[in-house]
Amino acid sequence: MLGSPPLARKPNGSLMNTIGTAFPDDGAIVSGCGIHAVLKLDYLEHLAKERQAPLSPEERRARLERAVDLVIREDSVFIRPEPERMDLAFAADELLQQIPVPKTRIRFLGVMEPAIRQAIKRRGELWRINPLPHTADEMRRMIRTARCTLDSGASYYYSMETGTRWMTYQEFERLADLPPAQLGLALREIRHHANRRNKLDHPEVALFKVDARWDPASIANLDLEGIENDPERLRAVYEDLRNRFREAVAAEFRRDDPNDHQWRIAMVQELLGYGPEKASEEILMGLGSEFHLRVQWLPGARLEQGELIYDTVFDEAGSDPHASALCDEKVRSMIFNLLRQHEHKLDFVNIARVPESLSKREEERQQACRQQDLGPAVQGRREVYVAELQQAGAPYEQVYVIRMQKWDVREHLMEGNSLLDAFLLAQDYTEYCLDRHLGCRQLGMSLMPVSTGTVTEHWGGQLLRSTYFQRDYVFGQATDKLPPSRYAEPEFASTLARLLGEAAAPNLIVGRCDKDGRVMFDDGDEVLIDHEGRLAGLIVADNSGSFADYTRDLTVTLPSYALPVVSRKDLVPSLQMFAELYVHHFVHRLEWLKEQFLQHQRAFRSLFRHRKYDDKGCFANRWEKVLDRLQKADPRNLGDRLRASIKAQL
């Protein structure tokens, strides 16, 4: 270790180091401030002194080519890997842990590079990729911690991903207040580093948001020779450069304002080195808007020669609070289950937690309860996980969605039930959910197959077995999160109207509502499937709320099914055509469902007769009432009423 430990702090609590460089071949790490090139030269000089002989050009070049850049911020050390040399990045990781730096404090940059992401993914360590900022507060924090200086004291915004220091117009304008000697030093510093490119071929210094009017030669050819002792000439050179900088920057970017959305997004893009459409781990791995910006990757596992190797951070969970927060005890059981399910033929497993509700309706409920100070709006569990794994030799990864059972043993124990009663009630609810899923499919709802699994967890001093439901992830876009640009595509609106109309019919029949009786449709669970750029179908990702309304007449909730049309009145090219297609396919699907039921009535009626029956809302009772309602339904009359509702709400 040349220099202080990476996370060492000064007496005032600030970090002593802002950057570092690892030399894996030598087992050495250098820490300090400034730029990486200087640290590397310091290390080479250190080696020469130790040897008492200069290094040959080949030795110098070899060490510089195999050095790994580190960036130190707040409580973490970030490794900046090179995509083609991930072995060096992992060797640097091991060196840092030997210092020791806790593994939970070591992260990898380069989330946008497929080779980097894939190498870390295969180790079951997606959680170690530096997370992208998801909220405005996180973006502001990222910008705040990016502030840095070099020798002159001029202020920049440092991109950990690219190594570029961004000089904004406001910061350049502030140089006017410096005395001549310091101003000359700042201009020389900007010129020197703007003409240098780092190991990743990015400029060491660049100007923020300059447009095509900016001439790069303005800095490259900046003549500063012999003017240190001529303050007037120095001031004239600076003001000329400042005026050209100002003219090349739009007015909204001339003031640094992290609270301004446009400025904040633009700066974050530069700090990440990529545009906003790519700035999501979920989009990168193929997940769509159902999980947009909402996953938190957790320690996982990998297999080497058939042996399961858990992430070593699990071993730190008892002693390191950061590790304890990351290590979800249920994840171990999930990995075991997936391993058995795939007959141990896996390369790796990564599991993420979805910390927030996915649906718009649930967010609205939570917000309303917070405003009224009513406490959490939802009872029961809402834990959701995403598992990404790869079978040995498979060309692509598989992705599963895992949802913990809403009412399980833990929840029934919290209500005061005995352990035996809680176990029996939880089993009944599992059967209810599986029956509900089967009932929805029987009535024409397009659902993914679902299976169950169990995990062990501690609660109240007891070791419990809790149930979860697992399904394949639906790759597509939720209907309520479609970008407006999609509606301009040829045939998109007409196909969408057909798919929504066909999906609305079974949704109405099974009475899919929340506990307040509000219809649940077109609000996050209906996912469009694309095939070669064309809409190929619609799948309901989650059928929760089905059979909640099993007694009311269909005409009571029918007006809510006008919303998929009304909400798109300013998006679709022809609202009248969209509405008519929607209603037409709604009626056609209802007629088909009723015909299927009447032709196979015995099969429908007897489907759940083997289940325990009561009049208090068991599933067999709900199924019977829903079928009675379908038998009485008049599809064409319902279609006319739906047209009238759409017209009334427009």
Tens-place pLDDT, residues 419-470:
999 999 999 999 999 999 999 999 999 999 999 999 999 998 899 999 999 9
623 with 510, same domain? yes
* Average pLDDT over every residue of 469-486: 87
Residue with the bigger pLDDT between 292 and 48: it is 48
User: 80-84, 160-164, 354-358, 488-492: which range is least confident on average?
Assistant: 354-358
Tens-place pLDDT, residues 90-132:
999 999 999 999 999 999 998 778 899 889 989 999 899 877 7
Domain that holds residue 217: 136-272
What is the C-alpha separation between 645 and 634, in angstroms, rounded?
16
Which 8-state DSSP code applies to residue 20?
E
Tens-place pLDDT, residues 190-224:
999 999 998 889 999 999 999 999 998 889 888 88
pLDDT at residue 285 greater than cutoff 50: no
259 with 345, same domain? no
Sort 2 into a burial class: Cβ within 10 Å, 0-12 / 13-18 / 19+.
middle
* Average pLDDT over every residue of 573-584: 96
User: 368-382, 405-419, 516-530: which range is least confident on average?
Assistant: 368-382
Token readout for 92 is 């640097």
228 with 299, same domain? no
485 with 624, same domain? yes
Give the model's pLDDT for residue 376: 44
Query: Is 279 contained in some domain?
Result: no
Give the model's pLDDT for residue 370: 46
The number of C-alpha atoms within 13 Å of 293 and in the hemisphere containing its C-beta is 10
Query: Is 556 contained in some domain?
Result: yes
pLDDT at residue 646 greater than cutoff 90: yes
* Average pLDDT over every residue of 488-514: 94
99 with 155, same domain? no
As a whole number of Å, the end-to-end CA separation of the chain is 70
Query: Is 38 contained in some domain?
Result: yes
Domain count, the chain: 4
pLDDT at residue 278 greater than cutoff 50: no
Using a pLDDT cut of 70, give the percent of the chain over it.
93
* Average pLDDT over every residue of 498-519: 96
Query: Is 439 contained in some domain?
Result: no
200 with 295, same domain? no
pLDDT at residue 279 greater than cutoff 60: no
Query: Is 420 contained in some domain?
Result: no
Query: Is 128 contained in some domain?
Result: no
185 with 246, same domain? yes
Which 8-state DSSP code applies to residue 395?
S
pLDDT at residue 493 greater than cutoff 60: yes
User: 182-186, 314-318, 603-607, 636-640: which range is least confident on average?
Assistant: 314-318
Tens-place pLDDT, residues 403-429:
999 999 999 999 999 999 999 999 999
What is the C-alpha separation between 78 and 142, in angstroms, rounded?
14
Query: Is 492 contained in some domain?
Result: yes
Using a pLDDT cut of 90, give the percent of the chain over it.
69
Note whether 52 and 59 are within 8 A (CB). no
Give the model's pLDDT for residue 280: 41
Tens-place pLDDT, residues 526-545:
999 988 778 889 999 999 99
503 with 621, same domain? yes
498 with 631, same domain? yes
Given 241, 272, 303, the domain boundary residue is 272
Look up tokens 């099969």; give the residue: 603
- Looking at residue 510, which CATH number applies to its domain? 1.10.1070
Give the model's pLDDT for residue 261: 85
| 387: nearest Cα among 479, 478, 291, 304 | 291
Give the model's pLDDT for residue 200: 85
* Average pLDDT over every residue of 308-331: 88
Buried b (16+ CB within 10 A) or exposed e, 301-310: bbbeeeeeeb
pLDDT at residue 189 greater than cutoff 50: yes
pLDDT at residue 366 greater than cutoff 70: no
* Alpha-carbon distances of 430 from 353, 472, 633, rounded to whole Å: 22, 19, 31
Mean pLDDT of the chain: 89
Q: Is the peptide bond before 54 cis (omega within 30 degrees of 0)?
A: no
* Average pLDDT over every residue of 300-312: 88
Token readout for 462 is 């007891």
Residue length of the chain: 650
pLDDT at residue 627 greater than cutoff 70: yes
| 572: nearest Cα among 646, 501, 487 | 487
User: 120-134, 230-244, 549-563: which range is least confident on average?
Assistant: 120-134
- CA 190 to chain centroid: 36
Note whether 419 and 460 are within 8 A (CB). no
Beta bridge mates, 168: none
372 with 335, same domain? yes
Give the model's pLDDT for residue 378: 42
181 with 316, same domain? no
* Average pLDDT over every residue of 583-592: 98
Given 212, 243, 272, the domain boundary residue is 272
Cα dihedral 558→560→561→566 (10° resolution) = 140
Sort 580 into a burial class: Cβ within 10 Å, 0-12 / 13-18 / 19+.
middle
pLDDT at residue 374 greater than cutoff 50: no
Give the model's pLDDT for residue 275: 52
Query: Is 353 contained in some domain?
Result: yes
Given 399, 417, 450, the domain boundary residue is 399
101 with 223, same domain? no
